[in-house]
Amino acid sequence: MSKVLIATKINGEAHEFACEPSASLLDALRDDLRLTGTKEGCGSGDCGACTVTLDGEMVCACLVLAPEVAGRQVGTVEGIAEDGALHPLQAKFLEHAALQCGFCTPGFLVAAKNLLDRNPDPSEHEVRFWLAGNLCRCTGYDKIVRAVLDAAAELRQERAGA
């Protein structure tokens, strides 16, 4: 099998990489681009550790073929903080101790940001169902849900003040 060359944008930055036609986006990110913030917990779409955005839609990177991202926009956990400043979601995850081991955290952050981008004022119920595709074995989700709700409130305030 010969490799294919893919040109894409990752976190707003143009990237090129060569991969097997059968490679997943997850493998391309982790192995070829060395962006290891996106995690593999299952490789079958069941844990959400590999959650990224593709043209703004939430996807499991393990279920996307790497060649599919040609000419599109990929968003990963590495792109959430801007210019070294943490996004309110990241700050709230830390403040609420919403991570224990932290392995699920990148997936949760990408998914939660995607939720808040479209719904600035989600209920606890909406947060729980939006994040139902992300497994966390450490926290029991309590502090994750609280961190997301608190970040949403802070973002609303920021917007109101802006």
Partner 1 sequence: MNDMSAPPYKVVGTRPVRPDGVDKVTGKAVFGPDFAASGMLHGAVLRSPHPHARIRAIDTSKAAALPGVRAVVTGADFPTLESLTMALGESSGDVLDIARNCMALDKALYEGHAVAAVAATSTLIAREALQLIAVDYEVLPHVIGIEEAMAADAPVLHDTLFTKGLDATPDKPSNVATRFVMANGDVESALAGAAAVASGRFTTAPVHQGYIEPHACVASVNADGQTQIWASSQGAFMIRSLTATILGMPISDIRVTPLEIGGGFGGKTTVYLEPVAVLLSRKCGLPVRLVMTRDEVFRASGPAPGSVVDLRIGADKDGKLVAADIEFRNSAGAFPGSSVHATAMCSLACYRIANFRVTGWDVVSNMPSSAAYRAPGAPPVVFAVESALDEIAMQLGLDPIDLRLRNAVRPGDPGPMGMPHGPVALVECLEAAKAHPHWTAPLAPRHGRGVAAGFWPNYGGQSTATVSVAEDGTITVVTGSPDIGGSRASMAMMAAEVLGLPYEAVRCIVADTASIGFSMVTGGSRTTFATGKAVVEASEAVVATLRARAAAIWGIEDDAVTWQGGAAQAAGQEPLTIKAIAAKAGQSAGGTIAAEATVNPLDYAAGLAVHICDTEVDPETRQVRVARYTAVQDVGRAIHPSYVEGQMQGGAVQGIGWALNEGYVHDAGGRVANAGFLDYRMPVASDLPMIDTVMIEVPNPAHPFGVKGVGEAPIVPPLGAVANAVSRAAGVRLRDLPMSPDRVHAAIAAKG
Which of 58, 54, 64 is CA-nearest to residue 26?
64
Please, what is the minimum distance in Å from the beta carbon of residue 79 to partner 1?
A: 9
Residue type, position 24, single letter? S
Residue 60 DSSP code:
E
Q: Which of 4, 65, 95, 154 binds partner 1 (CB under 8 A)?
A: 95
Beta-strand pair 73-75/4-10 = parallel
**In whole angstroms, what is the distance from residue 101 CA to residue 54 CA?**
26
Which residue lies nearer to partner 1 by CB, 64 or 106?
Answer: 106
Which of 91, 32, 80 is CA-nearest to residue 52?
80
Interface contacts to ligand FES, rule CB under 6 A: 40-43, 45-50, 60, 62, 99-104, 136-139
Please, what is the minimum distance in Å from the beta carbon of residue 42 to ligand FES?
A: 4
**In whole angstroms, what is the distance from residue 150 CA to residue 108 CA?**
15
Q: Which of 16, 86, 117, 157 binds partner 1 (CB under 8 A)?
A: 86
Q: Which of 113, 134, 151, 152 binds partner 1 (CB under 8 A)?
A: 134
Give the Cβ contact number of residue 54 at 10 Å: 17
Give the footprint of partner 1 on residues 3-42 (CB under 8 A). Answer: 20, 30, 34-42
Apex 66 CA angle, 18 and 101, nearest 5: 110
Please, what is the minimum distance in Å from the beta carbon of residue 147 to ligand FES?
A: 12
Which residue lies nearer to ligand FES by CB, 98 or 115?
Answer: 98
Point out which residues bind partner 1 (CB under 8 A). Answer: 20, 30, 34-44, 46-47, 49, 76-78, 80-81, 86, 90, 93-97, 99-106, 109, 124, 127-129, 131-146
